[in-house]
Structure 1
Amino acid sequence: MSWTDRVSPAVRALAANIKLVVFDVDGVLTDGTLTYSERGEQVKHFNVKDGVGIKLLQRFDIATAIISAKSSAALAKRASDLGVQYFYPGASDKWPCLQEILDQLELMPEQVCYVGDDVIDLKVMTRVGLAVAPADAFWMVHDRAHYCCDKPGGKGVAREVADLVLGSRMSLEDAYIKAMLPEFEVIK
């Protein structure tokens, strides 16, 4: 079964309208495991494929954001390394952060894809154009998502979302040509 056969026409239509993709972190960009160093610092494990997906979105002028309830040096470093334009760590209420981004970009909620995995994300997910959940998201989140990924958190969810959004506009082969160029790794 091809990628486009797995995605309904209704979801592809929602994805075609997206101008901003917002990611939660724990359970989305990571597998949700919390590891602490001897000094008490959080250690997070990120998937390289997700980084390619986030960069691809940016290369096609789709803004990216990270809004997380937690804050850590590892997360700040990852957001910086990927050139994520809008970064909101330590946000227990995510909607005001998203509203600030919408105001800056002059976007409507219908133009936003939000990727979340737990109940803290529902306030945002129920108000955006495309709500996405990892395969292992909490059941309530699955029930309210427009699209549930094949991948679990931390195992390629952002890449799958990038494929969904970009694949609604063009062939994925055309999109991935940009990832093969030497300048792809350079942060704009």
Structure 2
Amino acid sequence: MMDTGFLSSYQDLSEDFIAKLKALELVVLDVDGVLTDGGLLYGEHGEALKRFNVKDGVALKLLPKWGVEVAVITAKDSAPLRKRMKDLSVTHFYPGCHNKKEAFQDVLKRLGKKADQTAYIGDDVIDLQVMPEVLLALCPADAHVLVKRHCHRVLLTKAGEGVAREVSDLILAARMPLETAYALAQKPAFEKQ
């Protein structure tokens, strides 16, 4: 049973788009410009720092509980990024990846999934290596214009402001009331996982 109340806030969602949300078994995300705002802060010793949105953390931990695997493919690599992925138990993590299509094929093979069961969320032209391959290509509201042209949907959320959470809510709302989906996140054990 869908969460029609939540989905109705997106006035232009087609039945086809909702059917695709229901069919998803894997969500693949970029980091910079999706999970972060794309900015880099450098510490006094030259280390790069990133700001992540805590709302995305709930999404990345909740989706697998409802049968949707999560993978992260990013061109950057850093200790803060690795720490964040470890904290969120993202095991399908491809840092420092400049051939995103190759990494995408690897994650499909490892998980036994198909591209037509997958959503990809990216913001810049390197993500166009994968976006044409998937069932749903999505991007943040402030993605590059070329990415927006090749997406199935431009999200309402800007980079670093809860993009993964919006995607997660769409997927879950296509399948059940959000109260049901988030019942797991309300349990004390959820944060400890």
% identical aligned pairs? 48
Secondary structure of the residue aligned to 2:133 is coil
Displacement after TM superposition at 1:2 (Å): 4.6
Instruction: Give the alignment's Cα RMSD to 1 decimal.
Output: 1.3
Aligned counterpart, 1:80 = 86
- In structure 1, what is the Cα distance between the partners aligned to 2:58 and 2:15? 25
Q: 1:169 is matched with which residue?
A: 175
Instruction: Please list the CA deviations of residues 123-150 of structure 1 after superposition, one character each: whole Å capped at 9, or x if unmatched.
Output: 1011011111000001111111112111
Q: Is the 8 A contact 1:30 1:47 kept in 2?
A: yes
TM-fit CA distance, 1:165? 1.2
1:50 partner SS:
helix
Distance 2:80 2:192 in 1: 20
- 1:46 partnered with 2:52: yes
Q: Match for residue 6 of structure 2?
A: 3
* Within-5 A mapping of 1:43-122: 43-122=49-128
Map 1:8-27 to 2 at 5 A: 8-27=14-33
SS of the counterpart of 2:72? strand
What amino acid is the match of 2:105? Q
- The residue type paired with residue 41 of structure 2 is T
Q: How many residues align?
A: 187
Shift, 1:8, TM fit:
2.6
Structure 2 unpaired stretches of 5+: none
Pairwise CA distance, 1:3: 2.9
1:18-71 Cα distance to aligned partner (Å, 9 max, x none): 111111000000001111111111100000001011111021121111100010
SS where residue 178 of structure 1 aligns?
A: coil
Give the CA deviation at 1:73: 0.5
Check whether the contact 1:11–1:147 (CA below 8 A) recurs between aligned residues. Answer: no
Aligned to 2:151: 145
Structure 1 partner of 2:186: 180
Gaps of 5+ in 1: none
TM-score under structure 1 normalisation? 0.96
* 1:86 to partner: Cα distance: 0.3
CA distance in 2, matches of 1:136, 1:161: 15
The alpha carbon displacement at 1:166 in A equals 1.1
Contact 1:63 1:85 in 2 (8 A): no
Cα distance in structure 2, aligned partners of 1:166 and 1:172: 7
Deviation by residue 1:73-105 (Cα, 9 ceiling, x = unmatched)? 110000000001200000011111111111111
Could you tell me the TM-score, scaled by structure 2's length?
Answer: 0.93
Measured in 2, the distance between the counterparts of 1:12 and 1:186 equals 32
